[in-house]
Structure 1
Amino acid sequence: MSTLSILSDNILYLRMQIPKMTQEKIAEKLVVSRDSYAKYETGKTAPPLDVLLAISRYYQVSTDLLLTVDLRKYSREDMIELPNNRSVLPILVDEAGENKIEIVPHKASMGYLNGYNDPEYIGNLQYMSLPFLHNGKYRAFPAGGDSMPPYNDSTYFVGKYVESRNDLKKGKSYFFVTREGFVYKRYTDQNQYGTLVSFDNSFYDPYEIEWADVLEIWEYECSINKDDLGLLNPVPMEIQSMFLSLKNDIQIVKDSLKK
């Protein structure tokens, strides 16, 4: 089978798994015309890259699987667990061997939505290192908005990259990067179409974020005030020394507990 034939069979199969999901409805979600979408399902035309990515995000199936695997052989649950259906970010380290935590400044927030998967864009972001954060990929995002008390516009959330939505834990806070911007919310539940999230501020009601709109998910690890640490400048040596000292003290306590 050709790649185009596999893709057309897959997107028809995936749509048919959703009750009452017509070509017109899925085309509306993908922001294309029904006629254009119909040609994708019949294999007459290959979808543009941005539409292919939108299909991938909506069904939470990687483009690799959409183009190379006959998904009709798998259940929805088995599909999510397939090895090629995970997206892993490389972990970069600084001169001291500590994880590089890229900082997304307020003024570049919208630019991140276009460059989040561009290595050159990410490589040009300033970064910091926090020695107590290991075993994962971390990134710092600006806080803001009434839905995020007690944080202010000088606060940054440091999040750990979530490779699969199956790794989400109820009650935990996450930073959702969506097509519309950044959303910091507490995870409540999910289904194949979206995730239900709630606010820390009880004034707001829970709501659902559609998977098709989600670009990345980062699990909240800690918050840092840039005014206190000067995050938009290189981290001072005294701050680095403080964290290294704290790291050593924690290790000493752990070693003593093992005895």
Structure 2
Amino acid sequence: MSLFSDNIRALRVKSKISQEKLAEHLQITRGRYVKYEDGTSEAPYEILKKIAYHFHISIDLLLSVDIRKIEIQDLINLENNRIILPIQVEPNGDNSIEIVTQKVKAGYLTGYSDPEYIESLQQISLPFLGTGKHRGFPVEGDSMPPHEEGSIIVGRYVENIGQVQDGKTYILITKNHGMVYKRLNKNKKNTLVLESDNRFYPNYEVKFSEILEIWEFQCNIGRTDTKQPLTEIESLKEILLELKREVSEIKENTIN
């Protein structure tokens, strides 16, 4: 058996998926898949791509690293674990910002690694963002004020989960929770804690192995100038300032 055969068998077993079910996901027959797993036949490029996308592991790792010796949840930390990120480049060489509108959001989980899908997205350019790969995502709900539903969050692609900084906000693309925008903390092994700035929403955890992409917040594109409600600290400051003004007025009146 080849290293590739050992790897796909190990991944399938660790993922607790049958040969028949995996073959169904790959859109091939079970008999054809079995030949790849027992090493009697080599998988063509198209099948290699499908297997890599299914397990979220680069083709390079599938062919050159003994995955049996590595925990699946740790694979995202390996520098060589790269799935190609499709991007659009303008004629002058600058990266375009693909905008995932609300209309096409539902297809992002399956199309994020598909060059044709990415090419179909609307594009804009914001020169002040600097280097890095950027993408825009729609805001839903009220869990992350002051960003309102309907606005666009522009994020910079994070290549390694080790670059995530506690307390900062990120767009996460995950297997089980879809697309979310939260404040992250790495206070547990192999797990991220996701926090909403709106305290009405409880915190929850996402394992590294569930994460497909991470984008660090860079800017917000919105259409509203609604005045944001005061936070508790700001409200307290307002009260203290009002008291200070009243005391000053009383002193002036007393002197006069």
TM-score range, shorter chain: 0.5 to 0.7
**1:149-164 aligned within 5 A:** 149-164=145-160
**Residues 225, 189 of structure 1: alpha-carbon distance in 2 compared, 3 angstrom cutoff:** same
User: Are positions 1:5 and 2:5 aligned together?
Assistant: yes
User: Are positions 1:208 and 2:202 aligned together?
Assistant: no
How far did residue 110 of structure 1 move? 0.3
**Residues 157, 8 of structure 1: alpha-carbon distance in 2 compared, 3 angstrom cutoff:** closer
How far did residue 158 of structure 1 move? 0.2
**1:51-130 aligned within 5 A:** 53-56=53-56, 61-71=57-67, 82-87=78-83, 89=85, 92-95=88-91, 97-130=93-126
Matched with 2:185 is 188
In structure 1, C-alpha distance between the alignment counterparts of 2:51 and 2:159, rounded to whole Å: 22
* Percentage of identical aligned residues: 43
In structure 1, C-alpha distance between the alignment counterparts of 2:187 and 2:59, rounded to whole Å: 22
Matched with 2:136 is 140
How far did residue 227 of structure 1 move? 7.2
How far did residue 168 of structure 1 move? 1.0
Q: Is this contact kept in 1: 2:135–2:154, CA < 8 A?
A: yes
Q: Is this contact kept in 1: 2:76–2:208, CA < 8 A?
A: no
User: Are positions 1:166 and 2:162 aligned together?
Assistant: yes
- Give RMSD over aligned pairs: 3.8
How far did residue 214 of structure 1 move? 2.2
Q: Is this contact kept in 1: 2:86–2:113, CA < 8 A?
A: no
| TM-score, scaled to structure 2 | 0.65
How far did residue 140 of structure 1 move? 0.5
Q: Is this contact kept in 2: 1:155–1:224, CA < 8 A?
A: yes
Query: Any idea what the Cα deviations from partners look like across 1:123-151, whole Å, max 9, x if unmatched?
Result: 12111111111210000000011212222
Q: Is this contact kept in 2: 1:176–1:182, CA < 8 A?
A: yes
In structure 2, C-alpha distance between the alignment counterparts of 1:164 and 1:183, rounded to whole Å: 18
How far did residue 202 of structure 1 move? 1.7
Query: Any idea what the Cα deviations from partners look like across 1:97-146, whole Å, max 9, x if unmatched?
Result: 54300111111110122211111111121111111112100000000112
How far did residue 90 of structure 1 move? 5.5
Q: Unaligned regions of 5+ residues in structure 2, if any?
A: 23-29, 226-256
How far did residue 186 of structure 1 move? 0.8
How far did residue 224 of structure 1 move? 0.7
Q: Is this contact kept in 1: 2:77–2:161, CA < 8 A?
A: no
**Residues 36, 48 of structure 1: alpha-carbon distance in 2 compared, 3 angstrom cutoff:** farther
Q: Is this contact kept in 2: 1:189–1:197, CA < 8 A?
A: no
Per mean C-alpha deviation after superposition, the further-off stretch among 97-106 and 68-77 is: 68-77
User: How many equivalent pairs are there?
Assistant: 208
Query: Any idea what the Cα deviations from partners look like across 1:4-24, whole Å, max 9, x if unmatched?
Result: 433157549x95xxxxxxxxx
**Residues 223, 113 of structure 1: alpha-carbon distance in 2 compared, 3 angstrom cutoff:** same
Q: Is this contact kept in 2: 1:55–1:212, CA < 8 A?
A: no
SS at match of 2:62: helix
Matching residue's letter, 1:188: N
**Residues 83, 150 of structure 1: alpha-carbon distance in 2 compared, 3 angstrom cutoff:** closer
Q: Is this contact kept in 1: 2:86–2:118, CA < 8 A?
A: no
Q: Match for 1:177 among 143, 157, 173?
A: 173
In structure 2, C-alpha distance between the alignment counterparts of 1:215 and 1:79, rounded to whole Å: 12
In structure 1, C-alpha distance between the alignment counterparts of 2:142 and 2:54, rounded to whole Å: 30
In structure 1, C-alpha distance between the alignment counterparts of 2:222 and 2:141, rounded to whole Å: 15
